[in-house]
Amino acid sequence: MTKTNTTTRTARTRTASCACGGLKLTLAGEPTSVYACACQECQRATGSAFAYRAKYPKTAIMDVTGERRSWRRGSDAGRWIEQTFCPTCGTLLFMEAEVIPNDIVVSVGCFTDSDFAPPAALFWSGRRHGWYQLADGIATP
């Protein structure tokens, strides 16, 4: 994916980058949703107890720079999810999914923004680790 969008440059921009700084994604505007997911695939992909992600429309992509690799896997529903990561440091920067063809999902930690919106929901909450307690207001659909 290589895309530059010049029509949204007046909106707030955020840049997500991998740990080594070799892969960067710049987005305009605010995410359409922010969520966490405790499914086993997200646990494996992040190496943590859950994933913390922000969904943006693909039209918000202003720039993607750096070398990247992608890996496509299936979901429980039989649809594909493609994870894009840095080949140098291995950071999972963003994902695309068959079920949301007009959106991109970004790993929130890659923004290094401690004021980023909290997740509105935790998906697959039944698979979360026993020690992980949810803050008030986080839905568990």
Quote the mean pLDDT of the chain.
86
- Say how many domains are in the chain: 1
**Which residue segment(s) compose the domain that 71 sits in?**
13-127
Say yes or no to pLDDT of 127 above 90: no
Q: Does residue 90 lie in a domain region?
A: yes
| pLDDT at 19 (0 to 100) | 97
| Residue 85 burial (10 A CB sphere; 0-12, 13-18, 19+) | buried
Find the helix or strand (DSSP H, E) in which 44 lies: helix 40-46
Q: Does residue 37 lie in a domain region?
A: yes
**pTM of the complete model:** 0.80
Q: How many residues does the chain have?
A: 141
Q: Does residue 111 lie in a domain region?
A: yes
Least trusted range by pLDDT, from 60-64, 78-82, 134-138: 134-138
Q: What is the domain-level CATH number for residue 86?
A: 2.170.150.70
